[in-house]
Amino acid sequence: MDFLCQPHPQPTGGLLLHAFEPRSFNKESLTKEFSWTDKIQINKKQLDKYTQHFMNFDFKQINNNGRKALLLQIIELIDLTTLSGDDTARVVKVLTLKAIQPLSKWLEVKLQSTAGSQVKDIESSVHTAAVCVYPARVKDVIEVLNTENARDKVKVASVAGGFPSGQYLLETRLHEIELLAKQQVDEVDIVIQRSLVLDKKWAELYSEITQMREKCTSPIVMKTILSVGELKTSENIYIASTIAILAGSDFIKTSTGKEKVNATIPAGIVMCDAIRTLRNLPSKKVGIKPAGGLSTFEDCVRWMYMVKCILGPEYLTKDYFRIGASGLLDNLLRELEQCE
Ligand SMILES: O=C[C@H](O)COP(=O)(O)O
């Protein structure tokens, strides 16, 4: 049974009060000048309605086996993160080993002996999608992955572009990304300069993200952190999402985890709606990464349900959906241990 398949309202086309003009709806005209941003207006009533719907997800429908399968699925979607001033090679080593093999032998045996068919196939190979650290700690992650012969299994992600504030000279931020790309990272989570959104300097925002994209040379995956909790309005979140997509981001990400407000469901709805609206414009499909404050099974399932409703089930894979979190994995493992 598909536990994320409750009947739901279709949030399609109802979020913007004014649709994009079909004539100007192509990448060239949307990035030549930014007067279209003046017309973006979110339907707050609809946004509240959808928020209520996703927040009220009925967890009672998930039985024991479904819960185990979802817990394992969530683990595979995690960018296991440590972004602290006191991170050391030792801290990163422990985290990376956990990313490669999150389940203890004891838990594996327990799951095998109690599993239904949904769980049985996957638990022995389960690992997180990526490990995400500061640039100075990237070498520690790569060393452990190489030693454990897991370089192809778990991706190496790092933050850049003046993380977390973005308040550095563009030259410094670009140089930082360039240096990171030379370290053989797989993924770079860049931050935007929030002042460009708050001051509505949209052309400059587009230009900065485009330049950052150029430094994230192929095949590096670029996730653009919008820091939604600091963007003040849903309209700003929608426009910043749209510009980040047009500038070539592979993912748009809610937060650094350092803002006061992080990955909220209403912000997620707005970001998903922007991805959905633009889904035929970039040559690739753009994913979404909630990050910051996600620490429970329930937090994750609400997000997955929302992504599935707005973007479709094909987005619930690690190519298009990640969960950035530092404390989530331990909680999920505790839940798995408690499942019958
Ligand atoms: O990108 C991931 C975030 O920094 C993680 O935030 P968190 O520590 O609140 O889980």
Lowest mean pLDDT among 12-26, 37-51, 137-151, 234-248: 12-26
State yes or no: pLDDT of 122 exceeds 70.
Answer: no
Between the CA of 23 and the centroid of ligand 1 the distance, in Å, is 40
State yes or no: pLDDT of 15 exceeds 70.
Answer: yes
State yes or no: pLDDT of 133 exceeds 70.
Answer: yes
Which one of the listed residues 253, 273, 299, 308 is annotated catalytic?
253
Domains of the chain, residue spans: 38-338
The edge-to-edge listing of strands for the beta sheet with 287-289 is 287-289, 251-253, 221-225, 187-191, 155-160, 130-133, 78-81, 323-325
Which band of pLDDT confidence, cut at 50, 70 and 90, is reported for residue 116? low
What does DSSP assign to residue 17?
S
Residue 200 falls in the annotated catalytic set: no
Question: Residue whose CA is closest, atom 4 of ligand 1?
Answer: 257
- pLDDT value at residue 115: 60
Domain spanning 38-338, CATH architecture: Alpha-Beta Barrel (3.20)
Between the CA of 254 and the centroid of ligand 1 the distance, in Å, is 10
Between the CA of 134 and the centroid of ligand 1 the distance, in Å, is 12
pLDDT in tens, 46-96: 999 999 999 999 999 899 999 999 999 999 999 999 999 999 999 999 999
Residue 289 falls in the annotated catalytic set: yes
- What ipTM, to 2 d.p.? 0.97
Q: How far apart are CA 252 and CA 282, in angstroms?
A: 13
Which one of the listed residues 68, 155, 215, 289 is annotated catalytic?
289
Q: What angle do CA 219, 255, 337 make, to 5 degrees?
A: 90
Lowest mean pLDDT among 7-11, 41-45, 248-252, 323-327: 7-11
Ligand 1 pocket, residues with Cβ under 6 angstroms: 81, 83, 132, 256-257, 291-293, 324-327
The SS3 assignment for 188 reads strand
Question: Residue whose CA is closest, atom 6 of ligand 1?
Answer: 292
pLDDT in tens, 162-174: 999 999 999 999 9
Half-sphere exposure of 49 (CA within 13 A, CB side): 11
Which band of pLDDT confidence, cut at 50, 70 and 90, is reported for residue 207? very high
Which one of the listed residues 79, 140, 189, 299 is annotated catalytic?
189
Question: Residue whose CA is closest, atom 2 of ligand 1?
Answer: 324
- pLDDT value at residue 14: 66
Pairing of β 251-253 and β 155-160: unpaired
Between the CA of 324 and the centroid of ligand 1 the distance, in Å, is 6
Taking the model in full, what pTM does it have? 0.94
State yes or no: pLDDT of 21 exceeds 80.
Answer: no
Between the CA of 98 and the centroid of ligand 1 the distance, in Å, is 17
Which band of pLDDT confidence, cut at 50, 70 and 90, is reported for residue 22? confident
Q: How far apart are CA 119 and CA 68, in angstroms?
A: 7
For every residue of 257-326, DSSP letters joined together read S-SSS---HHHHHHHHHHHHHTTTSSSS--EEE-BSS--SHHHHHHHHHHHHHHH-GGG-STTTB-EEES
Q: What residues contact residue 42 under an 8 Å CB cut-off, 6+ apart?
A: 15, 16, 17, 234, 235, 238, 270
Which band of pLDDT confidence, cut at 50, 70 and 90, is reported for residue 23? confident
